[in-house]
Structure formats: C-alpha cells, structure tokens
Amino acid sequence: SAVISQKPSRDICQRGTSLTIQCQVDSQVTMMFWYRQQPGQSLTLIATANQGSEATYESGFVIDKFPISRPNLTFSTLTVSNMSPEDSSIYLCSVELVALTGAGYTFGSGTRLTVV
C-alpha cells in the first residue's frame, strides 16, 4: 500500500507568518486531498489538488489563504498564509490508494500547527 510522508509533524508559528506543509507519496496518484481537523472536531476538506491544474477549493477556503502546489504526481504542498490563532489545527493530506479498485483512502501523519 502507498506510504505518505508529511512534514513538518508539528510547528509553533507567530501570527502573520506562513507555513508550508509538504506531502510526499511513494506512488503516483491523480488526486491529493488536504483536510483540516480543528481540536476535537472532524475532518474538513480544504481542497483537492490535481496535477497540472489549479486546486479546487471548498466553500470557506480560498487560494490566497491556502495556496496549494502540485508539481508532479507524487508531491503536493499546502501553505497556510498570514496565520492567526484560529488557524491552529491539524492539517492532513490524503490520497486514494488505487482508484476504482476499492483500496481505500489513506492519510499522512498530519501537521499539528499552533499559532501564537
């Protein structure tokens, strides 16, 4: 099964700064997904990243705040820009292991972000 490496695992950042989170998959995948999990809450989809095109953002999330790169089929980054304490969350990337074959979706280990 595919392995996802996500980094950093955690960071403490000053408000007004930006943090870029990296997600590396050990096999090629068409779509990569970015989620936010606020403390004690469920996973909320931020955006879907397709290689070669702009990411598709969900309602409530905008590209200026959460720019995403997808330079190839195994890598993506999510940047949290101009951070405020409300951005303190766990951010997770996810991929579907093998589309159409029911192999399921797996998650990176997450990035725990604290904004002070």
Partner 1 sequence: GENVEQHPSTLSVQEGDSAVIKCTYSDSASNYFPWYKQELGKRPQLIIDIRSNVGEKKDQRIAVTLNKTAKHFSLHITETQPEDSAVYFCAASIQAGTALIFGKGTTLSVSS
Shortest Cβ distance from residue 97 to partner 1 (Å)? Answer: 9
Q: CA-CA distance, 91 to 102, in Å (whole number)?
A: 25
Q: Are 95 and 28 in contact (CB under 8 A)?
A: no
Shortest Cβ distance from residue 36 to partner 1 (Å)? Answer: 11
Question: Which has the closest alpha carbon to 110: 17, 40, 8, 14?
Answer: 8
Residue 81 burial class via C-beta count within 10 angstroms: exposed 0-12, middle 13-18, buried 19 and up = middle
* Binding region for partner 1 (CB under 8 A) out of 17-25, 62-70, 71-79, 97-105: 97-105
Shortest Cβ distance from residue 12 to partner 1 (Å)? Answer: 16
Chain positions 14 to 43 lying near partner 1, rule: CB under 8 A, are 30-31, 33, 41-43
- Per CB under 8 A, residues contacting partner 1 are 30-31, 33, 41-45, 48, 92, 94, 96, 99-100, 102, 104-110
